[in-house]
């Protein structure tokens, strides 16, 4: 008989966990120590998840429907919802499993390094995640500039300001927000962001229904446009757009913001996020496609103006655009976090205090430079919508639809006869193939549109 241990209270266990975590942190790099602080609750995790997924790209969903039609469009949304929920939950379970073994992963590349091997982490997952996240920052900056320009043209139709002027203005706003020190300190901004995405989705849905019921709306035509080749490529392009809308790419970094013990918290956060996804994605996609059919534009807000004439009251368009601009700034800052974390790891000194001049000066310079570069790219390449489909195909599909299944099967080694093994294997294979074809379709779309491209174009 071994000696009986006195029962440890939950509070004591928690304190030990925190002490162990903090001790672990002291041996860590500055990126993990300062940017990925583990202090959040599952509610904060829900805010971060919602901001990283429910973002203005959802306003492109009616456009994706123009390639897929009613049945294909709704089917793709349902599959996207189920597969990404399953996928993000699997990543979370793998992270929890490693945390229980005493080795908590705080970054996507750390997971890949341990599960697939060091080369995968360094040469595949790390660069792809950086491309996806930085691409999202550029896309947010460009979209913010476009929304500002549409407000300007509504109030001043003959104005002389160009798109790149507005991109720079939005970039200056991002420059200030980028200095917020850690991911955890964004939690209040991300709560506001959650409310904003519900607000502009409700507005976009209401505007679509209003225009669809009025005589001024376009004649509803749901037929698929183009010849067979264009239709087939269009389907894969639409899949890349939907993958980008559901894409996240920073699940481990979001889970890293949770205070230990992490068990079960991510699942609750995901449930909060997916309630918001279901309310916003389906309402915007269905109402937008119902109102405008195959005339739906790349951004549904563009459909609310016809030949510079507003189809809904002007104040309503102002309101949607302002909500969108504000949320874009929050989304942009969330996707800056992996870049911030790399910069902090490179330039900061973990042994000095977070707000010592030794750490603050390099932080401000490095973060400002990264925002300036993103803003310059957004101003130079105003056709970023096409580039976004490429990012979706090359980035979001492997990170969110393929790797989580592989990580789970390699970590838990389920029996080869089990349903979960075959389900994960099938999803990984199907989405790998879809990713390759969608990448080809997205590159083809860029080459078709290339003749209209000009640097710093005023589109």
The answer to whether 22 and 260 have CB atoms below 8 angstroms apart is: no
pLDDT of residue 26: 40
Name all domains of the chain by residue range, CATH numbers in brackets.
Answer: 30-452 (1.10.4160.10)
Point out the least confidently predicted range of 89-98, 130-139, 449-458. Answer: 449-458
Portion of the chain with pLDDT greater than 70, in percent: 93
User: With 90 as the cut, is the pLDDT of residue 310 above it?
Assistant: no
pLDDT, position 140: 93
Best mean pLDDT range from 11-15, 149-153, 204-208, 307-311: 204-208
Given pLDDT bands bounded at 50, 70 and 90, which one contains residue 179?
A: very high
- pLDDT value, residue 76: 96
Please tell me the distance from the alpha carbon of residue 222 to that of residue 74, in angstroms, as a whole number: 14
Give strand pairing partners of 310: 305
pLDDT at 180 exceeding the cut of 90? yes
CA distance 171 to 377: 11
**Per-residue b/e over 360-395, b at no fewer than 16 CB within 10 Å?**
bebbeebbeebbbebbbbbbbbbbbbbbbbbbbbbb
> Tell me, what's the pLDDT at 9?
53
Cα 382 to Cα 370: distance, rounded to the nearest angstrom: 19
The pTM assigned to this predicted structure is 0.89
Q: 184-213 in b/e burial notation, b at 16+ Cβ within 10 A?
A: bebbebbbebbebbbbbbbbbbebbebbbe
Report residue 69's pLDDT band, with 50, 70 and 90 as the boundaries.
very high
Answer yes or no: is pLDDT of 148 > 80: yes
Per-residue model confidence as pLDDT tens digits over 334-351: 999 999 999 999 999 888
Per the prediction, the chain carries an average pLDDT of: 89
A 10 A CB-CB count for 11 gives 8
6-46 pLDDT, tens digit each = 444 555 554 455 445 444 444 467 888 888 888 999 999 99
Closest to 283 measured CA to CA, from 339, 208, 333, 347 = 208
Element (H, E) at 306: strand 305-306
272-282 per-position pLDDT tens digit: 999 999 999 99
Question: What band does 103 get if pLDDT is binned at 50, 70 and 90?
Answer: confident
* Lowest mean pLDDT, pick from 166-170, 209-213, 305-309: 305-309
């Amino acid at each position: 008989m071994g000696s009986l241990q006195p029962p440890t209270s939950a509070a004591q266990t928690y304190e030990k966990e925190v002490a162990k975590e903090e001790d672990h942190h002291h041996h860590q790099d500055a990126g993990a120590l300062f940017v990925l602080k583990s202090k959040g609750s599952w509610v904060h995790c829900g805010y971060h998840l919602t901001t990283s997924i429910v973002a203005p790209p959802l306003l492109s969903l009616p456009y994706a429907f123009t390639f897929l039609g009613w049945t294909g469009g709704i089917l793709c949304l349902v599959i996207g919802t189920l597969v990404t929920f399953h996928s993000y939950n699997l990543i979370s379970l793998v992270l929890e499993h490693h945390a229980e073994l005493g080795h908590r992963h705080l970054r996507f590349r750390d997971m890949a390094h341990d599960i697939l091997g060091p080369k995968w982490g360094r040469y595949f997952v790390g660069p792809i995640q950086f491309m996806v996240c930085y691409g999202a920052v550029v896309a947010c900056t460009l979209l913010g500039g476009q929304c500002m320009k549409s407000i300007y043209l509504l109030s001043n139709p003959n104005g002389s300001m160009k798109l790149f002027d507005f991109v720079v203005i939005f970039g200056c706003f991002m420059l200030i927000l980028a200095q917020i020190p850690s991911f955890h300190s964004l939690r209040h901004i991300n709560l506001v962001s959650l409310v904003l995405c519900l607000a502009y989705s409700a507005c976009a849905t209401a505007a679509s229904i209003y225009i669809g019921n009025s005589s001024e709306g376009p004649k509803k035509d749901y037929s698929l446009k183009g010849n067979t080749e264009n239709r087939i490529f269009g389907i894969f392009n639409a899949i890349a757009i939907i993958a980008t809308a559901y894409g996240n790419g920073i699940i481990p970094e979001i889970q890293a913001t949770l205070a230990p013990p992490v068990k079960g918290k991510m699942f609750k956060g995901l449930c909060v996020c997916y309630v918001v996804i279901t309310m916003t994605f389906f309402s915007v996609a269905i109402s937008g496609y119902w109102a405008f059919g195959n005339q739906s534009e790349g951004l549904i807000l563009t459909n609310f103006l016809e030949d510079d004439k507003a189809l809904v009251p002007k104040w309503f368009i102002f309101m949607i655009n302002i909500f969108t601009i504000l949320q874009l700034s929050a989304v942009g800052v969330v996707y800056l976090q992996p870049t911030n974390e790399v910069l902090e790891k490179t330039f900061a000194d973990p042994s000095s205090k977070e707000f010592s001049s030794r750490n603050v000066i390099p932080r401000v310079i490095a973060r400002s430079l990264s925002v300036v570069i993103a803003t310059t790219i957004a101003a130079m390449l105003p056709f970023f919508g096409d580039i976004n489909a490429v990012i979706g195909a090359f980035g979001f599909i492997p990170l969110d639809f393929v790797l989580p299944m592989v990580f789970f099967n390699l970590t838990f080694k389920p029996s080869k006869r089990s349903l979960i093994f075959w389900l994960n294997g099938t999803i990984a294979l199907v989405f790998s193939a879809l990713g390759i074809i969608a990448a080809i379709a997205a590159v083809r779309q860029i080459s078709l549109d290339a003749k209209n491209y000009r640097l710093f174009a005023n589109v």
